[in-house]
């Protein structure tokens, strides 16, 4: 299975500041035939199921604020929140969906203010 | 509006069985693959099972293979997970998840808690 490793495990950022979360996969999740990275980011708030923020490593889901952005390719990826808002306090997970159907997740990054 | 309603969780003794259900609405259930994902206390999200649109193909994580069975009823828009030989490390919130045609998860159920304890 592809192992996903996130860093840091927890992060404290001030309101209005930038938050950066990293995700590394144990093997490439880039598919050359369609030039896409099979990597998604999810946000999970306490007591709620996860919600997709980003797919194809950098495509924002409809309705997700543009302060959330994803980047990276191959095995190294980043989720950036450009200006942290109070409602962004959550745990963030990366997920690879390259190895169908075993879609593995990172261990999560807890974001606090 | 897409809705996935998980149910069937509860307290069960080690070695016991349970059947989870996920009632789907707001989309054409029969044309999407569906997965089950669980989250143990303090643990990361763990994919545990997948089923094709018709139910002809099923897949399991090694941790549940031989003990869990995924199925679906497209006429009633319902996904199931039959769990047997339950162990304490199966304690988790179980989510049913809708898979997009490109394989990421776009909708999740609210989750149902399974506690395996004597």
Q: What is the pLDDT of residues B7-20, one digit of tens each?
A: 999 999 999 999 99
**Cβ–Cβ < 8 Å for B95, B5:** no
Residues of A in contact with B59 (CB under 8 A): 101-102
The maximal CA–CA distance of chain B, rounded, in angstroms, is 42
Band of residue A17 on the pLDDT scale cut at 50, 70, 90:
very high
| Structure token pair of residue A95 | 């997920």
What CA–CA distance (Å, rounded) separates A40 from A99?
13
Residues 6 or more apart whose Cβ sits within 8 Å of residue B28: none
Task: Give the nearest chain A residue to B109 (CA atoms).
Answer: A49
Chain B, nearest residue to A99 by Cα: B103
Mean pLDDT of B54-61: 95
Mean per-residue pLDDT, A16-45: 96
Average pLDDT in chain B = 96
pLDDT at B24 over 90: yes
How is residue A73 written in tokens? 């390719």
- Kindly write down the DSSP assignment for every residue of B75-112, as one continuous string: TTTEEEEEE-S--GGG-EEEEEEEE-TTSSEEEE---E
What chain A residue is nearest to B42 in terms of C-alpha separation?
Answer: A107
Once rounded to an integer, what is the mean pLDDT over residues B3-9? 96
**Is A49–B44 a contact, with Cβ atoms under 8 angstroms apart?**
no
Strand partners, B81: B20, B70
- Give chain A's mean pLDDT: 95
Q: Do A40 and B109 touch (CB under 8 A)?
A: no
Q: How close B44 gets to chain A, by Cα (Å)? A: 5
pLDDT of A101: 84
- Asked if B104's CB is within 8 angstroms of A52's CB, the reply is yes
Q: Which one of A51, A52, A108 has the shortest CB-CB distance to B44?
A: A108
pLDDT at A80: 97
Tell me whether residues A97 and B104 touch, CB distance under 8 A. yes
Q: How far is CA A69 from the centre of its chain?
A: 9
* Shortest Cα–Cα distance, B110 to chain A (Å): 6
Q: Do B103 and A106 touch (CB under 8 A)?
A: no
Give the pLDDT confidence score for residue A29 in this predicted structure.
95
Quote the pLDDT of residue A71.
96
Instruction: Please state the rounded mean pLDDT for residues B51-78.
Output: 96
Q: Which of A43-47, A76-80, B101-105 has the highest mean pLDDT?
A: A76-80
- Residue B65 pairs with which residues in a beta bridge? none
Q: How confident is the model at residue B42 (pLDDT cuts 50, 70, 90)?
A: confident
pLDDT more than 70, % of chain A: 100
* DSSP annotation of B29: G
- For B33, nearest residue in chain A (alpha carbons): A101
pLDDT confidence tier of residue A1, bands split at 50, 70 and 90? confident
Q: In the structure, what pLDDT confidence band is assigned to residue A100 with cuts at 50, 70 and 90?
A: confident
């Amino acid at each position: 299975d592809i192992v996903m490793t996130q860093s840091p495990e927890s992060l404290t950022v001030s309101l209005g500041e930038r938050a950066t979360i990293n995700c590394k996969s144990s093997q490439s999740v880039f598919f050359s035939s369609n030039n896409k990275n099979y990597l998604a980011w999810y946000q999970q708030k306490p007591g709620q199921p996860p919600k997709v923020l980003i797919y194809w490593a950098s495509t924002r889901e409809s309705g997700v604020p543009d302060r959330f952005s994803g980047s990276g390719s191959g095995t190294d990826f980043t989720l950036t929140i450009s200006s942290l808002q109070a409602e962004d306090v959550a745990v963030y997970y990366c997920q690879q969906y390259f190895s169908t159907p075993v879609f593995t997740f990172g261990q999560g990054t807890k974001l606090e203010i | 509006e897409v809705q996935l309603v998980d149910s069937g969780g509860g307290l069960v003794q080690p070695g016991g069985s349970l059947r989870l259900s996920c009632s789907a609405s707001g989309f054409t259930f029969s044309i999407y693959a569906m997965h089950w994902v669980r989250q143990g206390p303090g643990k990361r999200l763990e994919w545990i099972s997948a089923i094709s649109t018709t139910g002809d193909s099923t897949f399991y994580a090694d941790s549940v293979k031989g003990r869990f069975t995924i199925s679906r009823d497209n006429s009633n828009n319902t996904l199931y997970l039959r769990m047997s030989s339950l162990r304490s490390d199966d304690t988790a919130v179980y989510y049913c998840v809708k898979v997009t045609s490109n394989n990421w998860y776009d909708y999740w159920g609210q989750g149902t808690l399974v506690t395996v304890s004597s």
